[in-house]
Amino acid sequence: MIREKFQALVSACADDADMLDIIDSDMKALSDYVNAVYAMETSIPIILARYEGEEVRDRIQALDQRRRDKHERAIVATKRLNRFAQMEHVQPLFAGDTSDRYQVAEFCQACMTEFFAGRDGHTLSLDEALHHPVHLEKTAEEAEYER
């Protein structure tokens, strides 16, 4: 469902290159946060095995700060994506509470899971993308939301 909402937002903003650039940047911010969590979780055991004392603390603090910064950026991105959706009269990508850090974190993870799982195993070539653009039909829920 996130993918369809994203596509509706992109379609609604198709004539505004600046908005599309911001949407692109904001969607990447969501994956950047997920990646920061992954990097932290996979790095901590290695740090604990390789270093001692203050070095452990400093390295883990740096990872945690990076994760926190990416989380803040993802929160801003989520709010803006929803604001753009509202401006364009399409469904917001995130239906939760943007002031709840945990909900936004779960949304980021859900985005990555949905986009990854939704791959069909085939990446369009540039020629295919130009000559066979994907147009998603509006669902009944989306049509109702626009009323």
pLDDT tens profile 91-135: 999 999 999 999 999 999 999 999 888 666 555 555 555 555 544
Q: What is the structure's pLDDT at 137?
A: 46
The most distant pair of C-alpha atoms in the chain lies apart, rounded to whole Å, by 61
H or E stretch covering 2: helix 2-12
pLDDT digits (tens, 9 = 90+) for 25-48: 999 999 999 999 999 999 999 999
Give the pTM: 0.79
Q: How many CB atoms lie within 10 A of CB 99?
A: 9
**Structure token digits, residue 92:** 């917001």
Query: What average pLDDT does the structure give for the chain?
Result: 88
Determine what percent of the chain is predicted with pLDDT higher than 90: 76
Q: What is the pLDDT of residue 73?
A: 98
Long-range CB contacts for residues 6-12, cutoff 8 Å, separation at least 24: 6/93, 7/134, 7/136, 8/85, 8/90, 8/91, 8/136, 8/138, 8/142, 9/81, 9/84, 9/85, 9/88, 9/90, 9/93, 11/135, 11/136, 12/85, 12/88, 12/89, 12/90
CA separation for the pair 1, 108 (Å, rounded): 14
What is the rounded CA–CA span in Å between residue 25 and residue 60? 27
